[in-house]
Amino acid sequence: MREREAAEPTSTAAAPAPRVEGHAPHAVLALQRTIGNRAVARALGIQRTPTQVTNLNREDRSGGLGPIEWTSAYEVEFVGSECRLNINVCLARDADVTEAQWNTVKGEAESEFRRVWDNKFRLTESGTTASTYDIRVRLTWVTTGEHVRIALHSGRGGANRRNWFVTPPHVVSRAHELGHQLGLFDEYVDPEVINRATATSPGIHTDHSVMGATYSEGPARATAKLRHAQRMAGHISTATGRTFTGSLVP
């Protein structure tokens, strides 16, 4: 029997954002120092609305087995020269998972997610001059409005997109499973999956991909690849109505 994570304290209504007369540069800078960039955006009436990126992903299986399907989802917003990507994650702990363990797992996930995915890709927009954006990533822990809900179990065990254990074989599994939430496929051999049935199948990669056989190839060497950037660029293009190509940050 699993329980939802402990309810967060009920927040009080936010105080009205201060008004900035005339948007004077010195006034904006002073507000940034005291209340932060997002509050300044509200004060100036320029609060951004992130774009939701969703994609149905499918892998066909042999032997009459049904396909593997899942819907990836996250949000992006373009700020200056950055494409800021965020996944809202609901990490629901079982009753025997302590709050300390829960917080440790969240810290591991954030650290490994950033190590593998943050500032690794660049988007270039077609039809404009020097319009490029570096992809920056983050996780936001939520109790409602999640892009993905993950059950956290006690003890040691492997992971999938919906189930994690307090002690994984290696923390790189956190970044791997969140890679599925970015719309990326597994890249290791699975005899049941047509595109990955053998070592020579087209969906197999042995280049230390975080989506590949990370444990046998070396977890610490697992990295994001150009093909991941290109797939994500396609999804972001569809969601925004703009045209992007993906590349690696030099």
pLDDT digits (tens), the chain, 250 positions: 333 233 333 333 333 333 333 444 455 455 455 555 555 454 444 557 999 999 999 999 999 999 999 999 999 999 999 999 999 999 999 999 999 999 999 999 999 999 999 999 999 999 866 699 999 999 999 999 999 999 999 999 999 999 999 999 999 999 999 999 999 999 999 999 999 999 999 999 999 999 999 999 999 999 999 999 999 999 999 999 999 999 999 9
pLDDT at 63: 93
pLDDT at 130: 64
pTM of the model: 0.81
Q: For residue 116, which of 43, 188, 170, 56 has the smallest C-alpha distance?
A: 170
E-strand spans in the chain? 51-59, 68-79, 82-93, 121-125, 132-141, 148-156, 163-167, 244-248
Helix and strand counts by DSSP (H, E) for the chain: 6, 8
Indicate if 115 and 92 belong to the same structural domain: yes
Question: Per the domain annotation, does 58 fall within a domain?
Answer: yes
Domain extent, residue 118, equals: 48-248
Indicate if 105 and 122 belong to the same structural domain: yes
What the block records as the tokens of 142 is 């939520």
pLDDT at 3: 31
Half-sphere exposure (Cβ direction) of 165: Cα atoms closer than 13 Å: 10
The Cα–Cα gap between 111 and 105 comes to 10
Question: Per the domain annotation, does 5 fall within a domain?
Answer: no
Indicate if 128 and 243 belong to the same structural domain: yes
The CA distances from residue 212 to 148, 199, 209, in Å, are: 22, 12, 5
Give me the number of domains the chain comprises: 2
SS3 164: strand
pLDDT at 6: 32
Question: Per the domain annotation, does 31 fall within a domain?
Answer: yes
Indicate if 52 and 42 belong to the same structural domain: no
SS3 43: helix
Q: Are 161 and 182 in contact (CB under 8 A)?
A: no
Question: Per the domain annotation, does 6 fall within a domain?
Answer: no
Indicate if 128 and 19 belong to the same structural domain: no
Element of type H or E holding 214: helix 214-217
